[in-house]
């Protein structure tokens, strides 16, 4: 466990070393990442929880791309600005104010005006995030008369839309629950699930989980006292279920490619009975974009 914690802290420290440059835009000092470098440059960052995008050329300073709302209608100023910078040679009709959409548009323009320009935009429909986590659980769907908690750890692969902060995601999760002397039960679980982000901000999101398919490899030791006769039985079980187990969680952005994750799982299930203890299943983790 100590090695796991040290590794976690080391990864977290390295995540803060991502290089950024400081710029002055309209008397505002901000740090920006350069996404595209060419005839038109694209820079961006998440500032006060909001995505902000900037462009520049050899003949202009940094200009922010905006999409203000007036009388209930978006003004789409970013389209007008990019139409001007590209001399109307690129259609902005389907252009969105998202990182990949802007990158793809500016990348295509740079390639059209400079034969030596190296394109960097590649359209992938899916984004993958890899995470690790650790915590405590009272295994509420297992007989646990003293409501004891045991450590857990695991990892997760999450899949979501690449061109937006998607509300919808699928995940494949590995989890191992350790046993202890007082509760001699352990399990290794593989689970497929679905996630919906009902609060979905650039810097923070809150979501609900449902694990709709699980495969568990469990070990348990059951001690019984029958009129003073103590008997011990060991059970090894492999079980596939479609339990629909629900939980909640949150992602807190550390930088553009990593997150701290918090989870409260196994609140209830549709097709598995609770064994008398309300869920105490908490974990904290770290997740990165691949």
Nearest C-alpha neighbor of 183 from the set 235, 145, 225: 145
For residue 76, what pLDDT is reported?
94
Find the helix or strand (DSSP H, E) in which 105 lies. Answer: helix 99-113
202 with 253: CB under 8 angstroms? yes
DSSP state of 178: P
In this structure, are residues 264 and 249 in contact, taking their beta carbons and an 8 Å threshold?
yes
Distance in angstroms (rounded) separating the CA atoms of residues 62 and 81: 12
Residue with the larger pLDDT of the pair 27 and 266: 266
**What's the confidence (pLDDT) of residue 67?**
93
pTM metric for this prediction: 0.63
pLDDT of residue 10: 41
| pLDDT reported for residue 228 | 62
pLDDT in tens, 86-131: 998 989 988 999 888 899 899 999 999 988 888 876 666 778 999 9
Place of tokens 């995505």: 51
Given a cut of 80, is residue 15 above it in pLDDT? Answer: no
Percent residues over pLDDT 90 in the chain: 51
pLDDT digits 0-9 by tens, 195-249: 999 988 878 899 999 999 999 999 987 666 666 666 667 888 999 999 999 999 9
Structure confidence at residue 6 (pLDDT): 43
Q: How many CB atoms lie within 10 A of CB 283?
A: 21
Residues 171-187 have a mean pLDDT of 91
Mean pLDDT of 162-182: 84
Residue 192, pLDDT above cutoff 70: yes
Alpha carbons within 13 A on the beta-carbon side of 231: 5
Q: Kindly give the pairing relationship between strand 204-226 and strand 168-177.
A: unpaired
154-166 pLDDT, tens digit per residue, is 999 999 876 556 7
CB 232 within 8 A of CB 223: yes
In order of their start, the domains of the chain are: 18-113 (no CATH), 126-289 (2.40.160.20)
Residue 164 has a pLDDT of: 55
DSSP 8-class letter at 124: -
Cα separation of 20 and 34, whole Å?
8
pLDDT of residue 5 exceeding 90, the answer is no
Which helix (H) or strand (E) is 15 found in, with range?
A: helix 2-15
Higher-pLDDT residue of 255 and 284 is: 284
**Dihedral over alpha carbons 92, 98, 103, 104 (to 10 degrees):** -60
Q: Which two tokens stand for residue 215?
A: 């495969």
Helix and strand element counts for the chain (H, E):
3, 16
Mean pLDDT across the chain: 85
Confidence band for 8, pLDDT divided at 50, 70 and 90: very low
CA dihedral 176→158→277→1, nearest 10 degrees, is 40
Q: Give residue 28's pLDDT.
A: 83
**Would you call 191 helix, strand, or coil by DSSP?**
strand
- Which tokens in the block code for residue 283? 């974990």
Smallest Cα–Cα separation from 144: which of 86, 204, 94, 187?
A: 187
pLDDT of residue 4: 42
pLDDT score of 48 = 81
- pLDDT confidence of residue 59: 81
Average pLDDT over residues 6-19: 42
Question: Does an H or E element contain 207, and which?
Answer: strand 204-226
Q: Which residues, at least 6 apart from 61, have a Cβ–Cβ distance to it below 8 Å?
A: 25
**Is the backbone of residue 179 left (phi > 0), alpha (psi -120 to 50) or beta?**
beta
When comparing pLDDT for 61 and 4, which is higher? Answer: 61
């Amino acid at each position: 466990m100590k090695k796991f914690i040290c590794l976690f802290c080391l990864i977290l420290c390295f995540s803060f070393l991502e290089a950024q440059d400081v710029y002055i835009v309209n008397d505002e000092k901000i740090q920006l990442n350069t996404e595209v470098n060419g005839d038109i440059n694209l820079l961006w960052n998440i500032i006060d929880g909001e995505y902000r995008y900037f462009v520049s050329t050899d003949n202009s300073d940094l200009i922010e791309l905006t999409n203000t709302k007036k009388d209930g209608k978006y003004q789409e100023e970013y389209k007008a600005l990019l139409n001007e910078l590209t001399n109307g040679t690129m259609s902005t009709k389907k252009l969105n104010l998202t990182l990949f959409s802007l990158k793809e548009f500016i990348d295509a323009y740079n390639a059209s005006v400079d034969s030596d320009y190296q394109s960097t935009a590649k359209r992938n429909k899916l984004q993958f995030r890899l995470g690790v986590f650790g915590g405590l659980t009272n295994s509420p769907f297992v007989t646990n008369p003293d409501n004891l908690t045991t450590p857990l750890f695991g990892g997760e692969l999450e899949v979501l839309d690449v061109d937006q902060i998607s509300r919808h995601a699928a995940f494949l999760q590995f989890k191992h629950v350790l046993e202890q002397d007082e509760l001699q039960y352990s399990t290794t679980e593989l689970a497929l699930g679905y996630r919906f982000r009902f609060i979905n901000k650039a810097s923070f999101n809150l979501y609900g989980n449902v694990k709709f398919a699980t495969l568990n490899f469990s070990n348990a030791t059951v001690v019984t006292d029958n009129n003073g006769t103590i008997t011990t039985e060991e059970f090894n079980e492999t079980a596939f279920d479609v339990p629909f187990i629900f939980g909640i969680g949150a992602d807190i952005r550390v930088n553009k490619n990593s997150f701290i994750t918090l989870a409260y799982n196994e609140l209830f299930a549709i097709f598995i009975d609770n064994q008398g203890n309300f869920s105490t299943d908490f974990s904290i983790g770290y997740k990165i974009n691949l």
